[in-house]
Structures are given as C-alpha cells and as structure tokens.
Amino acid sequence: MAVRIGTRAAAAVGGLALLAGLTACGSDSGDGEGTKKSGDPAKNAIAALQLASQSTTKQHSAKVDGTTAMAGMTSTMSGSMDWSNGMRASMNITQSGGGQPGASGKAREARYTPDAMFMNLGDELASSPQGKGKHWMKYDYATLVEKAGPSGKFLKDQMQNTDPSRAVQILIATGKVREVGKEDVRGTKATHYTGVVNVSELAQMQSKDLSKQDLLDLQQQLQQSGMETETIDLWIDGDNLLVKKREQADSSQGKFDATVFYSDYGTQVTVEEPPASDTINFEDVMPQG
C-alpha cells in the first residue's frame, strides 16, 4: 500500500511541475525592448516573445488545464494557480496508464503551497495501516530535498518559483525561434511560435531572465532524464498573453509530451492547507530508503 500511495503522490508533484514549465528561475521578465519589427523573422519572433513574457508574468495568476504523457502514463490536471509569491495552486488530477498501481483514472484533489504539496488520497490512504485514518498526504519540499537529493532540490525550486512565462524565457534564450502562423486556440486567435532547445547548449545560453546557474541546473536535470533536445511550441494571443504551450522530448523513460492551456488571467486563487489532523507526511508512509 505504501508504494502504491507514494507512486501516485510523487507523480502528482512532478506532474504539475512539468505542467507549469520545466524551468526553475526568477520571474523578472524583459522590459519590452526590441519589440519593433525588423527584417529578421527570428528577431521579430524573439521580440514578440519578450513582450509576451513580460505581459504574462505581470498577470500573477490564471486558470490552467492540460495533459502530460510520459512512459505510458497520462496525467490530466485542471484548476487555478498563482505565481505572485511562490506557487499556490488548487488542482484536480487524474492519472491513468503506464502500468502504475494507483493510476486508476480517478480524479483527486491536490493543493500546492509555497512550501508543500498536499494530495487527497481518500479512504485508500485512511484505511491503510500506514495512513492511520488520514486522508491527505503532505509532500514538504524541504524534506523532499533531504530525501531525494539534487532532483528533490530541483523540484523544490521549480515548485516555489513557477510561472507560465518560463518556457517563453527558455525559447528566447535559444535565439532560434520562428513564427508558424495564426491559429485558433479554443476560440481565441493566437500566433504560434516554435523552437528547439538543445539540452547540451543550455548552460551556454544568454538570457536576461535566467541566471547561468538556472540554465546549468536545468541542463543537468534534463540530461539525467536522457533528454537531448526539447521542442517548445507557444501560442500568444492578441493581448500578448500565453494561451497554450506544448513541450515534447524523448527521454530515457520514453516520449514526453505536455500540453497546457492558460485562461482567465488575474483570477483569484485561494488555497488552504488541509487540517493537520487529517494529514500525514509522505516520509512517514513511504518505506525507508
């Protein structure tokens, strides 16, 4: 039971990190310079994305929904998130496939605060010997760092410093972006941009938004997962806001494909921690080691 519960909750923590964006970095965006049209299509695309990064970050919150597929497992998530001061989010998560126990296709509630993630595992957890009558499992990020080492540190940074413009900033840093054209995204007219991130070049990229350490940490994390390149597709609406993002890559665990939609920017997000009396820490449930 402990392994089944732990697998599902761990996937939820990582799933939202991937849904929100792969990078872990500061959220200070560009100042809008370089947004004038030039004769270089790539420069024009980068200028447009710089404006989108700035506009998207300033909104601070949005409704999100999306799907992440990897290693035969699919996670769908919907809810709202606020990245104004750390990351707060309220999500419903459904996991299926991949041969993983517990990926039953049943929707479960997850809450994210700047310091921890909580997942409601219901009576399955409460009725288990390890659950001790508790329904919520808590993943404290500091404890995750202690237990998981570098990968846990990366995840902690990711969850505490997440906003939708991160993928925009990475694509800008590559310097290799092209405009695909105008497309419809759920009834909204948007401009589609695409680019390929070469993982081996990440640490050498130049960015006003991402530090060298940010890029080095991301490079190491992606290389550990077996990724060599990642394709990022972004859709920006007429208000210079990110409305859709898709990230695709091959990894040592198989193909990774994540799509997320953003809407209702500026929405109010309220997240309360579950009652302590109904919560148990993940390290108290998982087997030692």
Alpha-carbon span 167 to 66, nearest angstrom: 15
**Average pLDDT for 11-34:** 41
Cα dist. 206→172, 216, 273 in Å? 9, 12, 39
Alpha-carbon span 81 to 162, nearest angstrom: 9
- Is 27 part of any domain? no
Q: Which pLDDT value is given to residue 4?
A: 44
- Is 138 part of any domain? yes
Element spanning 118, H or E:
strand 116-120
CA-nearest of 6, 67, 70 to 253 is 70
What's the CATH code of the domain at 56? 2.50.20.20
- Is 289 part of any domain? no
Which residue's entry shows tokens 């939609």?
A: 261
pLDDT by residue (tens digit) across 110-147?
A: 999 988 989 998 998 899 888 899 999 998 988 887 87
Strands 279-281 and 136-140: parallel
> Has residue 28 got a pLDDT over 60?
no
Question: Is the four-CA dihedral 52, 55, 57, 60 of positive or negative sign?
Answer: negative
Alpha-carbon span 136 to 282, nearest angstrom: 10
Domain tally, the chain: 1
- Is 79 part of any domain? yes
pLDDT by residue (tens digit) across 144-181?
A: 878 766 566 666 666 666 678 878 888 888 888 999 99
Structural domain that includes position 142: 2-22+32-275
105 φ, ψ to 5°? 85, 10
Which strands, in side-by-side order, build the sheet including 229-237? 177-185, 188-198, 229-237, 242-251, 254-263, 61-70, 73-82, 88-97, 108-112, 116-120, 136-140, 279-281
- Is 280 part of any domain? no
Q: Which pLDDT value is given to residue 192?
A: 98
133: helix, coil or strand?
A: coil
CB contact at 8 A, 207 and 216: no
- Is 83 part of any domain? yes
- Is 282 part of any domain? no
- Is 286 part of any domain? no
Per-residue tokens: 102: 């517990």
From its phi and psi, is residue 181 left (phi > 0), alpha (psi between -120 and 50) or beta? left
Alpha-carbon span 107 to 54, nearest angstrom: 34
Burial class of 115 by CB neighbour count within 10 A (0 to 12, 13 to 18, 19+): middle
CB contact at 8 A, 154 and 221: yes
Band of pLDDT at residue 230, cut at 50, 70 and 90:
confident
Q: What is the pTM of this model?
A: 0.81
